[in-house]
Amino acid sequence: MLSARDALVRRGQFALRGDFEARTGEFHALVGRNGAGKTTWLRLLAGQLRQSEGEIECGGRSVRPPLVAYLPARSEDAALGAGRLAEVELTLGLLGDPQDAATHLAEIERLLDLPQERPEGRSEVFFRALSGLAAMRPEAILLDEPTSRLDPASRGVAYRALRRLAAAGAAVVAATHDPDLARRADCLWLVAEGTLARVSLEEAVARGALRAPEIFAALPALPLAADASAALRALLRP
């Protein structure tokens, strides 16, 4: 379990405080407006930032790699190798793990249901970095805007892969503006006004955490009557 208890982080005049809990097997999404502090909270949970107050733990231990893995918004900033196999080889080497990289990669590709490897492209860089993180066998995986630079088909693969990572025993947490990813989460958290709070998708929309046209994409998942949905669409339409 990844948890934060009354954790406070300060960066200049900005401060963010909250309690958080993600259990193994769960997928959580952080939503909020740009600049609200989603990335800051992820980096705090990953141990990249130090809290001023409170406690942050994963499985009762201090957060650190490979216990907690973090994928920034630019996947290429986390990628170590020039391909999936090189990524897994380098990860296993850093961990001092003697197992065969090719065998482990095949297991990861089956687990995540990844498409055939391509020589280049943003989606492939993401799949490569994700393979490296999975090779760490972390207890928690944190991702910043994992689907923002993916094409529609690759987003579908990513949705599936994150759910499979959670089902395999990791606590998965993603900061996102993607309503299709947010609606798939077991728990939704809103980062706003220096605080973190657990919310429903309806509350996230009502508090402006999803922007139009993101709101339109979220509407089918909301329990609205057809006339209310149509009225909201008319109100938001430019």
For the chain, list the domains and their CATH numbers: 2-211 (3.40.50.300)
Q: What is the edge-to-edge ordering of all strands in the sheet holding 195-199?
A: 61-62, 53-58, 2-11, 14-22, 195-199, 187-192, 27-31, 171-175, 140-144, 68-71
pLDDT of 117 above 60: yes
> What is the predicted pLDDT for the residue at 45?
94
CA dist 180 and 166 (Å) reads 17
134: left (phi over 0), alpha (psi -120 to 50) or beta: alpha
Give the pTM.
0.85
Q: What is the pLDDT of residues 181-204, one digit of tens each?
A: 998 999 999 999 999 999 988 888
> What is the predicted pLDDT for the residue at 23?
94
DSSP classification of residue 1: -
> What is the predicted pLDDT for the residue at 235?
43
Across the chain, mean pLDDT equals 86
pLDDT of 211 above 80: no
> What is the predicted pLDDT for the residue at 238?
42
Q: What is the pLDDT of residues 40-64, one digit of tens each?
A: 999 999 999 888 899 999 988 888 7
Q: Helix H segments across the chain?
A: 38-45, 84-95, 101-112, 122-135, 152-167, 179-182, 201-206, 214-218, 226-236
| Residue 236 pLDDT grade (very low, low, confident, very high; cuts 50, 70, 90) | very low
Mean pLDDT of 74-79: 76
